[in-house]
Structure 1
């Protein structure tokens, strides 16, 4: 890598002062000092970059200006639209084109339903795309759903809903197998077994990931599967 002359000078300063800084202790910042730094430099704390939502269920909440404009955007349906004359008929209507919506559509289709997915943006423009870490599933000999359950309950400071945690830890290995059967390319060792790592607060390695774009890989798999199956219609940019 080629450095600019200014950067080279700064590197020399860092190297020259490194011995004096190795054993230097820096005092912890007070909460007031931290708040000042955040308000001065972090984009989420800049007053001009955030505003309150004026309508809807999120009214009064603060969020970035760009997101507020999307949420407050007027629908594309004209006032003369006749609701008595439906344009589409379906057995199952899935609202939302992210990982959950795509999975629900696939499950419904597998059970014989004709499915329609409607999404306000493009199919796949969702939080799933932003996920990086991976999915935890207890599928190793030294692990079990029971151990996973204890990790989740403890990590949640015993405030979790036990029934939801139970469903999570029992279904997780099944979901991993299902996603892989659809073509999701999780990281693997040379012998073909899943490469699993520790997650926050875990007592076993059970994190299944696809590099640092796990969500994008999962969404790619689900989106391709939906597109290639019969009896699933996708309506994008649907208000």
Structure 2
């Protein structure tokens, strides 16, 4: 994906902020606790916070959390749903916080949108010495047969890179978070995965997949056809055809320590 296409996808969520807030999953609590485990203190920045899916979990765990989000629609939804959380406009490349002001920076399904050549030094600037940078991704567990079938039917726009365990492992195995220059020194990455799940119906799962960037930027006819294939697949599977079911998921975490 070239830079212009990346920016188009990254800017697509604001138009669907209410659907994103309603349908996207939260993050496994064990995954969030593991991400924060080595942090030297309770001050946490949720960077690229979206509608606050990760922010809410951090607040529930007792973190002193501040959320930063560039999209006005997403930020408005976050402020509506979490009025007691400090939420600021800003981006990974321009964080509106002082130097060494947080003990951890977490990003939920967002780090792949960052320009890490710029964001790396900026994240290092706001992190206290020994602070933690962690990315979290919710993954559909395609070790389950019907989930693997859904991934095939949905295609890469609806179920793309980082969305299944094997893809996430392949992509993050060679991921070198910024470690050069005096302003951006980090230790070696650590990875872990944690069981997760989301209660869905066929309709609400289609609505969830409709909030993926690859689907949001599709021409209307292509979007309708893609979601139609997914809807037909779910209607034909015994696991998903009747009422509620649990979508098998994992939360993957990649963390590094600021040196």
Instruction: Classify the TM-score, shorter chain.
Output: under 0.3
TM-score (norm 1): 0.26
Greater Rg by CA: 1
More strand by share: 2
TM-score (norm 2): 0.24
